[in-house]
């Protein structure tokens, strides 16, 4: 198995709107894959398609596919596009949604309890909590607070922590720095950098410069299609014409 996840020509409709018009992408195991593009280009829908919230009308989503070498017999993978959401997630997918969507009426602790799946965590819960506290030391302070009383940055930490309460192989992280001050955004990005070691990451980000150090591969979305892809972030940053056309704000 080389690719943790592979989307093969997915066509997605929301109601009568044709949103994803044939998306194909691979998420190689152990790497960080970025989805870039303007608002409404289909990045968030791609994540929800993987999660089965908007299942594709056509196309496949292959979990653990792709041959590593010729001896790799178990390379077929499994098509998860027809499964219900909770079964897809149970394969080992953690989701950090774009507007955080924490449960405000629950405390931070209760948010984390709700996020644990049955059998989702092999090791000790306390060890995992300590790992999260190492990642976000501030969380110890607001662990018993109601989530709606938290600041935006604290809520984002909670949203990430929720995805870490299970042994997830793949983390889908949608616009983590949205609405955060530059300093908070920088701290969060460095925390995500540490997560690279334990999980494969699929990251949606508007502001691609803040994550250019993080990414291994990238896909650029425009109007529900992938218009550009590559695996060299430095080249992308240098390619002014491409950035202006699909990512930047035209002046």
Partner 1 sequence: MEKVINPIRDYLDENPRTRKILSIMSIVAVVVILVVVGIYSYSLKGFVDRTILSIVDGLALSMLLFLMVSGFFLIFGLCDVINFAHGAFFMLGGFMGFTIYLGTESFLLDLGIFGTNYFVLSIVSFIASAIGSMAVLAIVGGGIEFFTVRRLYGNAIAQILLTVGFMVIITKVAEIIWGSSVISYFITPFSQIGESGYFFISGVFNFGGILIFQIYRVFLIFLGLAIAAVMFVAFRKTRIGLQIQAGIEDSEMVEALGTDIKKLFTIVFMLGAGLAGLSGAVLVPWIGANTGHGLTYLIFAFVIVVVGGAHYGRFEGTFFGALIVGLAMKFCAYFAPALENIIVFIIMAIVLILKPGGLTGS
The nearer residue to partner 1, 86 or 209, going by C-beta atoms, is: 86
Conformational region of residue 165, where left means phi above 0, alpha means psi within -120 to 50, and beta covers everything else: alpha
Say how far apart CA 4 and CA 63 lie, in whole Å.
Answer: 6
Say how far apart CA 121 and CA 138 lie, in whole Å.
Answer: 23
The nearer residue to partner 1, 103 or 133, going by C-beta atoms, is: 103
Backbone angles phi, psi at 171, to 5 degrees: -115, 125
Is residue 120 part of the contact set for partner 1 (CB under 8 A)?
yes
Span interacting with partner 1, options 5-13, 98-106, 126-134, 226-234, rule CB under 8 A: 98-106
- Shortest CB 110 distance to partner 1, Å: 5
Mask: binding to partner 1, 181-210, rule CB under 8 A, as x and -?
Answer: ------------------------------
CB-based contacts of 138, cutoff 8 Å, min separation 6? 154, 157
Is residue 110 part of the contact set for partner 1 (CB under 8 A)?
yes
Q: Measured between alpha carbons, how far is residue 123 from residues 69, 76, 211 in Å?
A: 31, 29, 31
Structure-block tokens of residue 162: 């929720």
Span interacting with partner 1, options 30-38, 94-102, 183-191, 210-218, rule CB under 8 A: 94-102
Say how far apart CA 191 and CA 189 lie, in whole Å.
Answer: 5
- Shortest CB 158 distance to partner 1, Å: 12
Is residue 113 part of the contact set for partner 1 (CB under 8 A)?
yes
Task: Name the DSSP class of 11.
Answer: E
Total of chain residues touching partner 1, rule CB under 8 A: 24
HSE-CB for 133 with a 13 A CA cutoff:
12
Span interacting with partner 1, options 115-123, 138-146, 226-234, 243-251, rule CB under 8 A: 115-123
Structure-block tokens of residue 215: 């990414």
Is residue 83 part of the contact set for partner 1 (CB under 8 A)?
no
Contact 94, 170 (CB under 8 A): yes
Is residue 16 part of the contact set for partner 1 (CB under 8 A)?
no
Span interacting with partner 1, options 75-83, 86-94, 188-196, 202-210, rule CB under 8 A: 86-94
Enumerate binding residues for partner 1 (CB under 8 A). 51, 53, 84-86, 89-90, 95, 97, 101, 103-106, 110-111, 113-117, 120, 162, 166
């Amino acid at each position: 198995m080389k690719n943790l996840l592979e989307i093969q020509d997915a066509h997605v409709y929301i109601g009568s709107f044709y949103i994803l018009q044939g998306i194909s992408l691979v998420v190689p195991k152990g790497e960080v894959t970025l989805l870039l593009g303007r608002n409404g280009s289909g990045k968030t829908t791609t994540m929800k398609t993987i999660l089965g919230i908007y299942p594709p009308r056509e196309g496949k989503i292959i979990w653990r596919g792709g041959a590593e070498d010729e001896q790799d017999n178990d390379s077929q993978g499994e098509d998860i596009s027809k499964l219900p959401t909770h079964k897809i997630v149970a394969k080992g997918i953690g989701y950090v949604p774009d507007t955080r969507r924490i449960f405000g009426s629950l405390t931070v602790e209760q948010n984390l309890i709700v996020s644990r799946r049955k059998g989702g965590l092999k090791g000790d819960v306390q060890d995992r909590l300590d790992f999260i506290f190492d990642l976000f030391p501030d969380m110890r302070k607001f662990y018993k607070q109601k989530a709606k009383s938290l600041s935006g940055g604290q809520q984002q930490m909670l949203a990430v922590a929720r995805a870490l309460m299970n042994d997830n192989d793949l983390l889908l992280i949608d616009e983590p720095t949205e609405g955060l001050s530059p300093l908070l955004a920088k701290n969060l990005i460095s925390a995500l950098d540490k997560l690279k070691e334990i999980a494969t990451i699929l990251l949606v980000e508007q502001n691609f410069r803040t994550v250019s150090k993080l990414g291994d591969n990238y896909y650029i979305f425009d109007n529900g299609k992938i218009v550009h892809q590559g695996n060299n972030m430095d080249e992308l940053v240098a390619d002014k014409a491409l950035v202006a056309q699909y990512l930047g704000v035209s002046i």
